Amino acid sequence: MELLAFDEKLRHYAGMRISLDLDDGVKVNYGKFGDLLAEVKAVTGGAVDA
């Protein structure tokens, strides 16, 4: 069940075709993936816009 939920989220973000800019840095680029990646708040330092 947990893998199905992750797969659904992954499919959603893959469909968004998010562009990454290396000049933005890790915090900005990591934050573009919402709660898909582990500990996003620890990396970005706050809330995430999804």
Beta carbons within 8 Å of 36's beta carbon, 6+ residues apart: 6, 9, 10, 13
The pTM for the full model equals 0.57
Half-sphere exposure of 30 (CA within 13 A, CB side): 14
Question: Residue 33 has what pLDDT?
Answer: 84
Question: Residue 26 has what pLDDT?
Answer: 85
Which residues in the chain land under pLDDT 70?
A: 40-50
Question: Residue 1 has what pLDDT?
Answer: 83
